[in-house]
């Protein structure tokens, strides 16, 4: 991916443009835009820009990375896990970090409902503010050594899910805790992880509830299925996959489809290899349900993180997730990058 620093590129373009104008002036007259000299100067300008882009790629390693991470902190709860994971990824990818705390409060009530609960809300408002301040302090304390961090004021929307979807517009990766409290303080309802993945337009890294003291992304596992969602998830996860020492590419296949699917997976393996990803191909026969087989493989491989596409369809206005997707949403026991 070619990237250029605009501040560095602009002076170069201006300099080239000045040389063009100087060379095009002949006794006070300017050559016509269709003249040979004009076209030659434009060619030189294009060469300068391309040379700058190539040098930028060489200086930056030419690799994909996450430039911006957004982490969601839950109000009134410890956020050690998501902050530890965020810090590790920010250091690896030299990324900027945005911290947010999305809640849905009294704006969701009708006038009648607000009248009934307003006394309770007002009584707890000061405590809610203290929890918000504590989340901000926790964010700054955990990430103070990073080069660029930003805490944004609380984002209030119709639901927490919609607030997070709106905030995802300016990030490369959204990091959230997969575990949601049943009765969260000062939140009407927890966010919906599945809806967040489907509608955010960004990959979502779901972090488990279990304590993570030293987050690692050394061993990965891709839950492969040849679908649009999985292809997109693997592309979204390339920065993670490239930094891993080994990645298992796993697919559960029926016996009669083994040969055909294995050939297709080898193509995926070759593509990942061109990106510098070290891949271990695993084709597993579907002895039981795909979710059960993948759970067993994951237990044996002991990866640090997983990558999966979240497949779903709508039925009578209700979103129905596939078996593996549903299992991943319910049992997040390691970091999993999900995309749709």
Quick: pLDDT tens for 160-198.
888 899 999 999 999 999 876 655 555 446 788 888 999
CB 135 within 8 A of CB 73: yes
What's the chain's Rg over C-alpha atoms?
25
Mean local confidence (pLDDT), 58-74: 74
Mention every residue, 6+ apart, whose C-beta is less than 8 A from residue 118: 106
Q: What CA–CA distance (Å, rounded) separates 176 from 4? A: 30
Residue 138 has pLDDT above 60, yes or no: yes
First to last CA, the chain: 22
CB 107 within 8 A of CB 159: no
Q: What CA–CA distance (Å, rounded) separates 174 from 176? A: 7
Mean local confidence (pLDDT), 235-246: 97
The pLDDT of residue 292: 82
Residue 129 has pLDDT above 70, yes or no: yes
pLDDT in tens, 93-107: 999 999 998 765 544
The pLDDT of residue 98: 97
CB 213 within 8 A of CB 183: no
> Which residue from 178, 133, 171, 148 is spatially nearest to 87, judged by alpha carbons?
148
Lowest mean pLDDT among 156-165, 213-222, 244-253, 292-301: 156-165
pTM metric for this prediction = 0.74
172 torsion bin: left (phi>0), alpha (psi -120 to 50), beta (else): alpha
> Which residue from 98, 94, 87 is spatially nearest to 63, judged by alpha carbons?
94
The pLDDT of residue 39: 59
Residue 278 has pLDDT above 50, yes or no: yes
Q: What CA–CA distance (Å, rounded) separates 252 from 250? A: 7
CB 44 within 8 A of CB 13: no
Lowest mean pLDDT among 49-58, 63-72, 146-155: 49-58
**Assigned token pair, 15:** 């300099």
Residue 65 has pLDDT above 80, yes or no: yes
Residue with tokens 């979103």: 319
The pLDDT of residue 202: 96
> Which residue from 212, 210, 201, 213 is spatially nearest to 169, judged by alpha carbons?
201
**DSSP 8-state class, residue 321:** E
CB half-sphere exposure, 6, CA atoms < 13 A = 0
pLDDT in tens, 211-229: 777 899 999 999 998 999 9
Q: What CA–CA distance (Å, rounded) separates 237 from 88? A: 16
């Amino acid at each position: 991916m070619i990237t250029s620093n605009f501040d560095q590129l602009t002076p170069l373009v201006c300099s080239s443009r000045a040389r063009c104008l100087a060379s095009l002036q002949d006794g006070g007259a300017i050559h016509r835009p269709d003249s040979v000299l004009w076209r030659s100067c434009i060619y030189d300008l294009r060469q300068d820009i391309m040379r700058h882009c190539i040098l930028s790629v060489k200086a930056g390693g030419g690799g994909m990375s996450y430039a911006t991470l957004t982490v969601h902190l839950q109000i009134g709860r410890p956020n050690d896990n998501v902050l530890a994971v965020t810090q590790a990824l920010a250091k690896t990818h030299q990324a900027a970090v945005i911290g947010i705390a999305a809640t849905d409060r009294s704006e969701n009530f009708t006038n009648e409902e607000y009248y009934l609960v307003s006394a309770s809300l007002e009584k707890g408002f000061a405590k809610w503010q203290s929890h918000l301040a504590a989340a901000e302090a926790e964010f700054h304390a955990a990430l103070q050594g990073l080069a660029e961090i930003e805490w944004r004021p609380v984002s209030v929307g119709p639901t927490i899910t919609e607030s997070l979807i709106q905030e995802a517009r300016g990030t490369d990766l959204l990091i959230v805790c997969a575990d949601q409290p049943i009765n969260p303080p000062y939140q009407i309802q927890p966010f919906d992880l599945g809806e967040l993945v489907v509608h955010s337009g960004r990959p979502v890294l779901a972090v488990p509830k279990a304590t993570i003291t030293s987050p690692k992304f050394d061993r990965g596992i891709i839950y492969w299925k040849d679908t649009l969602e999985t292809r997109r998830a693997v592309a979204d996860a390339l920065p993670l996959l490239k930094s891993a020492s080994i990645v298992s590419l796993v697919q559960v296949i029926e016996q009669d489809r083994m040969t055909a699917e294995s050939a297709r997976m080898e193509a995926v393996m070759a593509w990942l290899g061109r990106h510098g990803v070290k891949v271990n191909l695993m084709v597993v026969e579907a002895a039981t349900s795909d979710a059960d087989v993948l759970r067993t493989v994951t237990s044996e491989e002991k990866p640090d993180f997983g990558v999966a596409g979240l497949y779903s369809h709508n039925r009578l206005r209700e979103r129905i997730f596939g078996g593996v997707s549903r299992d991943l949403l319910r049992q997040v026991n390691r970091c999993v990058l999900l995309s749709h």
